[in-house]
Amino acid sequence: MASYLSRSTDARAKSHPMSLSSDEIERYARHIVLRHVGGPGQQKLKAARVLIIGAGALGSPLIQYLAAAGIGMLGVVDDDVVSLSNLQRQVVHGTPDIGRPKLDSARDKVAALNPHVRFVAHAEHLTAANALALVAGYDIVADGSDNFDTRYAVSDACFYAGKVLVTAAVNEFDGSLTTLKPHLAGEGGKPNPTYRCLFPHKPPPGLVPTCSEAGVLGALTGLIGAMQAIEVLREIVGFGEGLTGKLLLIDALSMRFETMRYAWDPANPLNGAGPARAQR
C-alpha cells in the first residue's frame, strides 16, 4: 500500500532528515528488523503527526501504541476528567488520576512510555466549528469519539482539509473500523466514499444507547483501539491492504470478524455529483 500519507511523510523525512538516535534504534529494534517497516518506515513514523479524538476507551490503546511505535507528534483532543467508572476500559488512566483532566494523565503516560514523542494537548470539545482548525496541523486523524455529532464533524473536516481519517466505534459486544480518504480518487477514477456514504444520516436521539446506558465490554475497546492503531501505522508506513471502502465488523459474543464493502454514493453532500455540500 503506497499511500498518499506514506509519500507525504517520506517527503517530509527527506526534506528534514529524521535520523534515529542510538536509543531510538534500540527502542524500535523490533520494527527496524520487521519486513515492510525497517529503518525507512520507522523514520516515517518519527516524521508523522497524528491527531487522536478522545482520550477514552478507544483513545487509550491508540495513545499508548502510537506513542510506543514512535509517532513524532501525537495530538489528543479531550475536555473530560477521569472518573472511577472510566477505569474498567480507559487503561491510559489509573486510580490516582481520578478527578484529573484526561489529557494530563495521558500526557504523563506518554512521557513515561516514550520521551521521544511530542504530546500536544487540545483541551477542548471538538465541534463542527473548530474541527477544521484542529485537524489542519496533522497528517492523519484517528477518531475514537463516542457520539455521532463528533464523528460527522471530524469526517467532514478531514474531507475539507484533505486528511486521512481512521474511525472506529464500539458498543456493548461489537465494534467497527474503517479508513476514509474521500479527498482522493479511488478505483476506476471514482471518488473514495465518505463517512456520509456509509452513514448518510445521524440516528435519531435515543435510538442508539450510550455506553453508560447499555454498557460495553472493556477488553473489546482495547482490541478495537489496538486495531485502529495498526491501521494508522499501515497508512503512515505504507504496507498491507488498508480499509478504504471496507468496514471491519467485530462481534465479541461469537468472536467473529467480517468485512463489508461500501462504495461512493453520488448523492452524498461532500464529494457527490450534486451541487449540495455539507457545511464546513
Which residues are within 8 A (CB) of 105 and not within 5 positions of it... i.e. 6 or more apart? 82, 92, 93, 94, 97
Reply yes or no on whether 211 is catalytic: yes
3-state secondary structure 128-168: CCCHHHHHCCCCEEEECCCCHHHHHHHHHHHHHHCCEEEEE
Separation CA 230–CA 247 (nearest Å): 15
Which residues are within 8 A (CB) of 274 and not within 5 positions of it... i.e. 6 or more apart? 266, 267
Residues in the chain, total: 280
Choose, from 81, 120, 211, 230, the residue flagged as catalytic: 211
H or E element in which residue 266 lies: none
CB atoms within 10 A of CB 203: 9
* Strand ranges for 3-151 from DSSP E: 49-53, 73-77, 118-122, 140-143
What's at 229, amino acid-wise?
A
Separation CA 3–CA 238 (nearest Å): 6
CA dihedral 132, 105, 227, 87 (to 10 degrees): -120
Residues annotated as catalytic are: 211
